[in-house]
Amino acid sequence: MYFTDSFQSMGVLNLTPDSFSDGGKLSSHDLVSQQIQKMRTDNCKLFDFGAESTAPFNKAVSFEDEMKRFEELLYPILKDLEADEGLSIDTYKVEVMEKLMNSGKLDHKQVVFNDVSGALDSKLEDFLLCNPHITYVYSHNLAPDRKSTQHHMDYLCPYYGVELKKHLVEYFEEAKNWFKGKGIENTVWFDPCFGFSKDYQQNLDLISLIPSLIEDLGPGQTWLLGISKKSFLRQLSAPDLTREEQFKRSEQAHAAILTFWQHSVTQQNQIVIRLHDISLFQSVKRCKFLYES
């Protein structure tokens, strides 16, 4: 997938009834279309569709239920996507991606398989080799297999600070070798996956580690980073605030973190920011002059 800027946005569209921050808000074709159009006005060209919430407090949904949501809410808007726009499918089920790709509905589209499982298994290998034109997102998740993805908080990373970064470098280097061995390393993005297999302090550590982590993995790599609406950002606020006020404060912190990343991450790598409010991303980008002058 080609970008003209090293710092780009990916708009989140949850087609779910139970996502914590926006569950049930996109329950019709018209509502999905309106949200896409709103994101377009802020120059977003990549849209991430999810039909299952992976928050630890939610139950996994069946293949059939996940597909039904995609069929009812994703398929109708595909004809409206413009030639320079891409779509990302947020699922850890390879069989869902197979069904979507085999439907013919995604033909001639720029497609990203946004997989939070962290599983490098034979099912994934077969799928990627059969679909070499799609982009694949490989995530940091220590759940032992794809079926355990929903229970990622049962498999916490044991490292903090510098040791956490060392672990992540080794984790992604091993993955790079796996993808290189299959001949598909050029279509893979990396995601350190905030909130997955990480506690509150590890997520905060990771925020500050991102620039050096990306530098250590070398130039030319595309990274997907997403902290939008994450619960650990709300925990930065006083506990007696209302839920609405906590979300407001977390978005203020979000903007500050994106400003830090935009300023400190080398432009030799492509950074894609996954978030719900694209206007916040654009505000951060417009402030770039502050540290370039």
pLDDT computed for residue 1 by the predictor: 59
Average pLDDT over residues 41-66: 87
* pLDDT tens, position by position, 180-222: 999 999 999 999 999 999 999 999 999 999 999 999 999 999 9
Average pLDDT over residues 147-172: 97
Do the Cβ atoms of 46 and 10 come closer than 8 Å? Answer: yes
Helix %, strand %, coil % of the chain (to 5) = 50, 15, 40
Split at pLDDT 50, 70, 90, the class of 287 is confident
Residues 6+ apart with CB under 8 A from 191: 114, 116, 137, 138, 139, 140, 223, 224, 225, 226
CATH number at residue 199: 3.20.20.20
**Does residue 41 sit in helix, strand or coil?**
helix
pLDDT computed for residue 27 by the predictor: 67
DSSP character at residue 249 = H
Average pLDDT over residues 139-155: 96
Strand-pair partners of 114? 90, 137
pLDDT computed for residue 194 by the predictor: 98
Give a yes or no: residue 69 inside a domain.
yes
Q: Does the pLDDT of residue 258 top 60, yes or no?
A: yes
Total of domains in the chain: 1
* Separation between Cα atoms, residue 252 and residue 157, nearest integer Å: 28
Q: Which two tokens stand for residue 206?
A: 């990771």
* pLDDT tens, position by position, 70-116: 999 999 999 989 999 999 999 999 999 999 999 999 999 999 999 99
* Separation between Cα atoms, residue 218 and residue 180, nearest integer Å: 15
Split at pLDDT 50, 70, 90, the class of 240 is confident
Give a yes or no: residue 225 inside a domain.
yes
Average pLDDT over residues 277-287: 93
pTM over 0.85: yes
Give a yes or no: residue 2 inside a domain.
no
Taking alpha carbons only, the member of 193, 221, 200, 211 closest to residue 258 is 211
* pLDDT tens, position by position, 116-131: 999 999 999 999 999 9
Dihedral angle computed from the Cα positions of residues 24, 35, 242 and 201, in that order, rounded to the nearest 10 degrees: 90
Give a yes or no: residue 1 inside a domain.
no
Do the Cβ atoms of 164 and 193 come closer than 8 Å? Answer: no
pLDDT computed for residue 23 by the predictor: 47
The three-state DSSP-derived secondary structure of 149-187 is HHHHHHCCCCCCHHHHHHHHHHHHHHHHHHHHHHCCHHH
pLDDT computed for residue 28 by the predictor: 80
pLDDT computed for residue 97 by the predictor: 98
Split at pLDDT 50, 70, 90, the class of 3 is low
pLDDT computed for residue 247 by the predictor: 87
Taking alpha carbons only, the member of 292, 181, 206, 219 closest to residue 257 is 206
Q: Which of 117-131, 146-160, 192-206, 276-290 has the lowest mean pLDDT?
A: 276-290
pLDDT computed for residue 262 by the predictor: 92
* pLDDT tens, position by position, 228-238: 999 999 998 87
Q: Does the pLDDT of residue 58 top 70, yes or no?
A: no
How confident is the prediction for the chain on average, in pLDDT? 91
* Separation between Cα atoms, residue 187 and residue 112, nearest integer Å: 9
Range of the domain at 166: 7-291
